[in-house]
Structure 1
Amino acid sequence: MAHEPKNYDHLKGGALKGLSDSQLDQHFTLYKGYVAKLNEIEAKLAEADNTKPNYSFNEYSELKRREAVAFNGSFLHELYFENLGADNGISPKLQAALDAQGGKDRIVADLKAAALCGPGWAILTRNRRDNKLHTYFFAEHHLGLPIDQDILCVLDSWEHAFMVDYGIKRAAYVDVFADNIKWSEVSKRFA
């Protein structure tokens, strides 16, 4: 079954503070490329000979190595776009979890700091092992994503997410992102 890219045009037209339609269009195009590549890889895997996988080279092996890049690139972008659209809809349960760890401002400051670690992804999660909120940074879609987590909020800190509007000013973009968090979506994921 082929994956279809979702439409996030509702985020355009001034729905987000500080992110232009041009910036969003560029980002949507990149996201659609990940979905197309995921479909291509899955179609090739359905036909690939998996009887001789090899570290050095084998078509099946190469497809399997890149599958997570396209998969995570597709779905991390969906989580990112879906947690945009500023609101203050923090559920009581999420608020309690935030308060238990110093409050929303402290957690958001840590998420922003994680995003400034470099190009990549910063995420807010609920760790299923200790049931606490955590922020993580990882540079590649398929490397460094922590296991056993419920992903609550995704911040894309790759340049493609902000270069049209902010050039190399990642910190300015990260501030704008924080102002655009859709807390009702984060709360839904927390539930």
Structure 2
Amino acid sequence: MAYQLPTLPYEYTALEPCISKSTLEFHHDKHHAAYVNNFNNAVQGTELDSKSIEEVIKITATNPSQAGIFNNAAQAWNHSFYWQCMKPNGGGTPSGALADKINADFGGFDKFVEAFKTAGATQFGSGWAWLVLDGDTLKVTKTGNADNPFTAGQTPLLTMDVWEHAYYLDYQNKRPDYIGDFLGKLVNWDFVAENFAQATV
């Protein structure tokens, strides 16, 4: 069954001025749509066609001959997850069990912010910064290109796209400004908390 391009969970103008309508139109309607189309075309009529996209990512991650399938599958999944990690008037700080766990594992929310900003700013070239649950410990990690933490057995809770197409129309080469706005004004902590709750049931 074909993987569907999800609609954005907000209007194209909803994240302005942090992320513009133009960026979302290009990023979602062009880049993300292309990954979804390429993935569906690549698995159509193969034994992978009946598997979930998460299964395909895990199966193809370590097979160089399937790198094209992996790249498009992982990018399709990563983007679908990324859209949900943001919301209008987001940012701020988490609460409840997630906040307690961040404080316990990072030594405070500010320490988490510092680690996440560093991961995003120091990812050379294209990639992603993540908050993941690794075993029973929260960690900040980063991945290059299409890579995804669950190929390493980690559970993604939050991601930030640091490919240039995610921010360049709005921030040009000022990636740290984009990262600051993402954390301060865009993060959907409710979504992150739901992911954490599901991962710790």
Please report the TM-score for the alignment, with normalisation by the length of structure 2.
0.79
| Equivalent residues of 2:149, 2:155 under 8 A apart | no
Q: Structure 1, unaligned stretches of length 5 or more?
A: 48-60
| Equivalent residues of 1:16, 1:84 under 8 A apart | no
Aligned to 2:5, what secondary structure does the other structure show? coil
Residue 46 of structure 1: CA displacement?
A: 4.6
Q: 1:14 to 1:94 in 2, by over 3 A?
A: same
Q: 1:2 to 1:144 in 2, by over 3 A?
A: closer
| Equivalent residues of 1:88, 1:182 under 8 A apart | no
**Residue-by-residue CA offset, 1:133-181 (whole Å, 9 max, x unaligned):** 1111121213776612110100100100001101111111111111210
Distance (whole Å) between structure 1 residues aligned to residue 195 and residue 149 of structure 2: 21
Which residue does the alignment assign to 1:69? 71
Identity of aligned residues (%): 24
Q: 1:93 aligned to 2:94? A: no
| Equivalent residues of 1:89, 1:182 under 8 A apart | no
Distance (whole Å) between structure 1 residues aligned to residue 91 and residue 112 of structure 2: 17
Question: 5 Å matches for 1:29-44?
Answer: 29-43=30-44
Moved more, 65-74 or 9-18: 9-18
Residue 75 of structure 1: CA displacement?
A: 0.7
Q: Structure 2, unaligned stretches of length 5 or more?
A: 49-62
Which residue does the alignment assign to 2:10? 10
> What amino acid is aligned across from residue 129 of structure 2 in structure 1?
A
Q: 1:110 aligns with which of 112, 115, 130?
A: 115
Question: 5 Å matches for 1:22-171?
Answer: 22-28=22-28, 29-43=30-44, 45-46=46-47, 64-85=66-87, 86=90, 90-100=94-104, 101-117=106-122, 118=124, 119-128=126-135, 131-142=136-147, 147-171=152-176
| Equivalent residues of 2:92, 2:183 under 8 A apart | no
Q: 1:89 to 1:187 in 2, by over 3 A?
A: farther
The count of residues paired between Structure 1 and Structure 2 equals 177
Moved more, 30-39 or 99-108: 99-108
| Equivalent residues of 1:166, 1:173 under 8 A apart | yes
Cα RMSD for the two superposed structures? 2.4
| Equivalent residues of 1:87, 1:184 under 8 A apart | no
